[in-house]
Amino acid sequence: MADLTKKQRVVLEAIAKAIDEKGYVPAVREICASIGLSSPSTVQVHLNSLEERGFIHRDAQKSRSITLTAKGREELGLSEDPQPVAQPDDYNLITLPLVGQVAAGVPILAEENIEDTITLPVDIVGDSASFLLSVHGESMIEAGINDGDYLVVKEQSVANNGDIVVAL
């Protein structure tokens, strides 16, 4: 067996478990939640190490693109590769960065740190969407924007009457 740290092994196991139980690859935040970490950047460090060492493979152009390599499956004692459910063709998808939080209520600093990327259908978000923000607070519930929702934000310099805007 390879010399994985305890956390690297836990991350590798969480990936395999999610694919096996849910049928799809977990997002970085889902890995955080499943192993009890609060920092996506910590999970990214472990994912980078696992990829460099040949236990997983990721497609940098897609979110949720982690696959266990033969070495990763062997490390976990798996005889078969848990296969994620097939994703739709890439031609109608857009990958958007999740760049931070926005307050719905008490103002908070919207830091522009890419925390994750999420691939969404173009027919839902449009092809001119710029980025995603995570909502924190409850003052926009009447507009259907709830605490924990992701907002698809299109960057533009002018807002029309009745538009809901995020001022950065």
DSSP code at position 1: -
CB atoms within 10 A of CB 112: 11
**Which DSSP letter does residue 83 get?**
P
- Alpha-helical (H) ranges within the chain are 6-22, 28-35, 40-52, 70-76, 122-125
Is pLDDT above 50 for 90? no
* Rg of the chain over all Cα atoms, to the nearest angstrom: 18
- Please report whether residue 51 resides in a domain: yes
Q: How many domains does the chain have?
A: 2
One domain for residues 105 and 135? yes
- Residue 1 covered by a domain: no
Identify whether 162 is part of a domain: no
The more confidently predicted of residues 38 and 14 is 14
Q: 54 in helix, strand or coil? A: coil
132 touches 99 (CB < 8 A): yes
68 and 114 share a domain?
A: no
Contact (Cβ atoms closer than 8 angstroms) between residue 1 and residue 12: no
* Residue matched to tokens 């266990």: 68
pTM check: above 0.75 = no
Look at residue 138 and tell me if it is in a domain: yes
Reported as a single tens digit per residue, the pLDDT across 32-45 is 889 998 888 888 89
Q: Rounded to whole angstroms, how far apart are CA atoms 69 and 81?
A: 8
Residue 120, pLDDT above cutoff 50: yes
158 assigned to some structural domain: no
Quote the domain boundaries for residue 133: 90-153
Cα angle 132-164-29, degrees, rounded to a multiple of 5: 20
Distance CA 119, CA 138 (A): 26
Residues with Cβ within 8 Å of 51's Cβ and at least 6 positions away in sequence, in order, are 57, 58
State mean pLDDT over 117-141: 79
Distance CA 57, CA 72 (A): 10
Same-domain check for residues 26 and 52: yes
